[in-house]
Amino acid sequence: MSITFVDREKELEFLERLWEGKNSFLPVYGRRRVGKTRLIKEFIADKPAIYYLARNSTYLHNLRGFSRAILERFPAPYLSEESFSSFADVFRYLKEKGKLIVVIDEFPYLIQSDRRVLSEFQYIVDEIVRTSSLHLILVGSSVGMMEEHVLSQKSPLYGRRDGQIKLSPLGFFDSWKLLRVNVEEAVRIYGVTGGIPAYLELFERFDDVKRLAFDKRGFLYAEGDFLLSSELREPRVYKLILKAIAEGRRRFNEISTFTGIPRSNLFKYVEVLERLGFLRREIPVTAKPRTKNTLYTIADSYLAFYFRFVERYRDEIELESLEFWEEFMEEYNHYLGRVFEDVARQFLIELNKAGKLPFRFTKIGRWWRRGEEIDLLALNEWEKKALFIEVKWRELSEREAGRILRDLERKAELVGLDEWKKHYGLVAKGVQEREKIQGDDWLVWDLKDFEFISKTRPG
């Protein structure tokens, strides 16, 4: 299925602003399949540009490939790809060609081929790009390598960039645009893919998960292993940590006990997973940053699905059996409760932008303490206003919705916002006769409201 280029407006605007200047150097990075190459090709489509995809090979092999791409665009009878002895030589040749964008995709492969390439590109930026009309874009899928070797203080390239783009997955509403399915089906697919465009384009309906993730030849069956192996030196240890969290061990001590990794060693592994964007540390939205009331969650939606379900059913999948399908569907429907919390948070942010809430909130997150939990709590700390929200991935009767909201009022008293103006909300798959319970302080939304937001939001 061919998909449309959506979202990324801010990134494209930023790239256009750099293009308007005399020259620039920009690193672009993000996890695999997130759409970096598509973004860059969209940007350079109507501009003079050279695009080169680096290979996982030697410095010389990449130099020859890059030289070939240059000479195909700017041929010279006296030159061949062997005429250039370094990347700096090629850029000196390009310096005379006027205003031009030069893109090197998968730049980490060049770093792996020869670490001295970083010092060479420091020279290229300082002595060639800055004295020319060249715009250099280095793209990388290895988040760790890009942050360590291109962006960090110890990198020869540190301080030379004109900005950076770390490309994130699409949000739910932009993902839904790509899918062209109804909202309920979109939530189900989003629970597998997150907002990764390359995964979204594989789906026409949720049932496709059978051939994509639960078939040993399917694209999403081995993707988790590939993703971790491409970023991590000890993927086995990191997989154990992610498996623990996927199965509900979300506190640091629980992870340590499940994995057998001592606390002192576990810290460094957790930090790496957080830095790569695979793991997220959560604290109650009202807590101070250094609180010990911490939970860990898998931030990458595909990896969360992979470790919860693909790993669990691996034996059956290898035997090409789908006898677990009914069990999976029952558990997945429960699993979607947490996915829907994230979708509901995005929905409330859209309402907040549009001014469709009783007040504009400045922060939103979950709250929990001593066995009590509130799915979402939106706050404006300047005006001392709070919106407490429960999220339910199920159809509710008027009576059930009222009971949930009354219990929410009870839990709100435990948070301690005594002098604050309080509002209460419910986001559900569906609510019968919701107009009977909706009022100034009780707000109720269901999937029909998601459809309205999707049609009215820009883009």
Per-residue pLDDT tens over the stretch 417-447: 999 999 999 999 999 988 888 877 899 999 9
Give the angle subtended at the CA of 369 by the CAs of 364 and 373, to the nearest 5°.
Answer: 60
CATH 3.40.50.360 for domain 172-338, yes or no, is no
Mean pLDDT of 366-383: 96
User: What topology is assigned to 344-456 in CATH?
Assistant: Trna Endonuclease; Chain: A, domain 1 (3.40.1350)
Mean pLDDT of 53-68: 96
pLDDT at 275 over 60: yes
Mean pLDDT of 75-101: 94
State how far the alpha carbon of 288 is from the alpha carbons of 25, 223, 436, in Å.
38, 37, 39
Mean pLDDT of 306-317: 96
* Per-residue pLDDT at 451: 84
pLDDT at 334 over 70: yes
Mean pLDDT of 101-130: 96
pLDDT at 458 over 70: no
Q: 37-43: long-range contacts (C-beta < 8 A, 24 or more apart)?
A: 37/105, 37/139, 38/5, 38/197, 39/8, 39/11, 39/12, 39/165, 39/167, 40/103, 40/105, 40/137, 40/139, 42/5, 42/8, 42/12, 43/12, 43/15, 43/16, 43/101
Q: 116-119: long-range contacts (C-beta < 8 A, 24 or more apart)?
A: 117/59, 117/87, 118/149, 118/150, 118/155, 118/156, 118/157, 119/156
* Per-residue pLDDT at 436: 86
Q: Which two tokens stand for residue 452?
A: 């309205």
Written as one letter, the residue type at 54 is A
pLDDT at 164 over 80: yes
Which tens digits make up the pLDDT trace of 171-185? 999 999 999 899 999
- Using only the alpha carbons of the chain, give its radius of gyration: 25
Mean pLDDT of 213-230: 94
Spans of all domains in the chain: 9-166, 172-338, 344-456
pLDDT at 197 over 70: yes
Q: Domain 9-166 belongs to what architecture?
A: 3-Layer(aba) Sandwich (3.40)
For the chain, give the mean pLDDT.
94
- pLDDT band for position 5 (50/70/90)? low
Mean pLDDT of 204-213: 97
Which among 97, 114, 27 is positioned nearest to 62, based on CA atoms? 114
* Per-residue pLDDT at 457: 66
C-alpha–C-alpha distance, residues 192 and 332, integer Å: 10
State how far the alpha carbon of 338 is from the alpha carbons of 150, 420, 429, in Å.
36, 28, 13
C-alpha–C-alpha distance, residues 248 and 307, integer Å: 11
Mean pLDDT of 214-225: 96
pLDDT at 2 over 60: no
Mean pLDDT of 303-319: 96
pLDDT at 7 over 80: no
Q: Report yes or no: 1 and 204 within 8 Å, Cβ to Cβ.
A: yes
pLDDT at 4 over 90: no
Q: DSSP alpha helices (H): ranges in 157-313?
A: 172-179, 183-193, 197-200, 209-212, 223-231, 235-246, 252-259, 263-275, 301-305
Q: Count the alpha carbons within 13 Å of 134 in the hemisphere toward its beta carbon.
A: 24
Which among 123, 103, 13, 93 is positioned nearest to 51, based on CA atoms? 103
Q: Count the alpha carbons within 13 Å of 64 in the hemisphere toward its beta carbon.
A: 5
C-alpha–C-alpha distance, residues 1 and 428, integer Å: 31
* Per-residue pLDDT at 1: 38
Enter the DSSP assignment of 204.
S
pLDDT at 459 over 80: no
pLDDT at 38 over 90: yes
